[in-house]
Structure 1
Amino acid sequence: MEKAMVAGKRKLLRLMENRQRHSLQLLHNLQLKKMKQNNLKPLDSTLAALSVSCSRALELDLAEAFLNQIAGYPHLYPYGALLAACDEMNITRMSNRV
């Protein structure tokens, strides 16, 4: 009985995490679409902030995509956030590209 409750809680937590990640990705896409509709290009600092939030949510491909759009951003924090997330997920192929 106790094992079933623990397994149920884990499953619920995974579902909640997946929902949060999906919501985060939708929010970022909506923000960028609105900017494009208004013929605005996001600032490098905006892309860096989006990349950091994606790194925290372990959406590494999206975080890397935002970093690739940055032209010579002088601060290392977004890159460090992505590398830390890669380390947490034990992904070396992406960390080598960054």
Structure 2
Amino acid sequence: MTIHTAEVIDSGLDPRTLRISALKVYVPAAHERVVDRAIQVHGAMGVSGDTPLAGMYTGARTLRIADGPDEVHRILIAKNVLKVYHDGASWDFGVA
């Protein structure tokens, strides 16, 4: 997703409302899932000060709200999808 967004930027198109918002929803959620799984594997030690996982979990949560909550980005994505469809494009965004 990141590489494709960079390619869109390099081509001169505006990726802000669709691709960057999608990244801002997906990446922090994936990061939080990975850290949560690591804490689950380590048990009580995962949330102790002996490992960096507790700090990573706090950072993962902060990352989800740092540049606007997920809901704001989902609204931006929905508005962009509806605008593109209204302009006559296809619902198949996998080829765009």
Normalised by the size of structure 1, how large is the TM-score?
A: 0.41
Structure with the greater alpha carbon radius of gyration: 2
Normalised by the size of structure 2, how large is the TM-score?
A: 0.41
> Which structure's relative contact order is higher, taking Cα pairs within 8 Å and 6+ residues apart?
2
